[in-house]
Amino acid sequence: MRESGILAFPKNAFYACAASPDNGYIAAGGKDAGIHLFSVGRWLPGGVFTSHSRRITCLAFHEGGTRLVSGSADRTAVVWAFPEMVPLFTLAGHKKALSDLAVSPDGFLLATAGHDSRLILWSMETGWELARARGEQRAVVSLAFSPDGEYVVTTGYGGELVLLSVPSLEPFRVLPHHRVAAYSPTFSPDGEMLVTIGFDSRLLVCAADDWTVLFERSLPRSSTHPVCFSPDGSLLAVGGHRSVLLFNTEDMNRVAEIPCPARTLYSVAFSADGRYLFFGSGDRRVHIWDIGELNVYSSI
């Protein structure tokens, strides 16, 4: 495995990464409160866009690729027109930093979670607040829409999975899951599996229909474990201590370990065509790998 180069760029700790659905861009956000765009394949800078006053903590694209949403420690989320990168709405409703956000599968709704234990549902079309709930957890760390968009799964301190109906945000099921804390709920592309990781460094893969545990794997101890599936669902990438682990989703056996010079990895994501895996880390770069060859492609 070889590193082919590092593009000259102001150093910045990147806490969030996302790939545009058209496979054209990577968006990365971090400590400088700006959203940095890079072209996929050539990895050329496409601009830096700022509407937040503090670090960016989460990013998500609308499935149609016409909207990008950013969440920040400044307690707001911003909906951007993409690729124009014009801010359309600034959504203010949290009392503490945003910890996660997700766009519904149909693209009409946005859910935001914060360290204030609040979960808020917004209209992507108008920016209006539609519903809010106070999470069962002391802090809602992360969330995901179900594949059919009918409910939201939240995780946080306490270790439970909390399921809330959409659009009312009424909790209808609480599932004991991890010890101490749970985070990174992620559905497989086919909607059949839900992956979560806990402070106990256990990776759990559950059936999304009845919540039975299909697989359980121990992970190296780390303060963060960002997770993502490849677009075809064949691989699961899990960030950890100085590496990203790749699992085959048929049996959840580890198939590769990609080293990272940084101690902490904050986010991982695949390009829309599944060729590249990229991750933001504590060394203030976004590392990009060509998964076809499992070689380092570039570092930003």
With a cut of 70, say whether residue 91 has pLDDT above it.
Answer: yes
Specify the number of domains making up the chain: 1
Q: Are 178 and 199 in contact (CB under 8 A)?
A: yes
Tell me the average pLDDT across 261-272. Answer: 86
Position 277: which residue type?
Answer: L
Task: Provide the CATH number for the domain around residue 94.
Answer: 2.130.10.10
Distance between CA atoms of 100 and 168, rounded to whole angstroms? Answer: 19
pTM for the structure as a whole: 0.91
128: containing domain: 14-226
Contact 58, 93 (CB under 8 A): no
Cα–Cα distance, 267 to 13 (Å, whole number)? 11
Q: Considering the domain boundaries, does residue 21 fall inside one?
A: yes
Q: Is residue 178 part of a domain?
A: yes
Region class of 253: left (phi > 0), else alpha (psi between -120 and 50), else beta:
beta
Three-state DSSP class for 62? Answer: coil
Q: What is the pLDDT of residues 245-261, one digit of tens each?
A: 999 999 999 999 888 87
Would 296 be classed as within a structural domain?
Answer: no
Distances (CA, A) of 77 to 111, 147, 258, 276: 10, 23, 32, 27
Looking at the domain assignment, is residue 294 inside a domain? no
Whether residue 244 is contained in a domain is answered as no
**Smallest Cα–Cα separation from 26: which of 9, 11, 41?**
41
> Which is more confidently placed, 110 or 134?
110
300 Cβ neighbours under 8 A, 6+ residues apart: 6, 7, 9, 28, 38, 43, 285, 286, 287, 288
Specify whether the backbone of 177 is left (phi greater than 0), alpha (psi in -120 to 50) or beta: alpha
Is residue 129 in a domain?
yes
Q: Is residue 204 part of a domain?
A: yes
Asked if residue 153 belongs to a domain, the reply is yes
Percent of the chain with pLDDT strictly greater than 90: 62
d(CA 26, CA 201) in angstroms, rounded, equals 28
pLDDT digits (tens, 9 = 90+) for 128-182: 999 999 865 566 789 999 999 999 999 888 888 899 999 999 999 988 888 778 8
Other beta carbons within 10 Å of 175: 14
Residues 6+ apart with CB under 8 A from 19: 25, 26, 27, 40, 61, 269, 270, 271, 272, 278
Q: What tokens were used for 176?
A: 């004991």
- pLDDT tens for 7-42 read 334 566 788 999 999 999 999 998 899 999 999 988
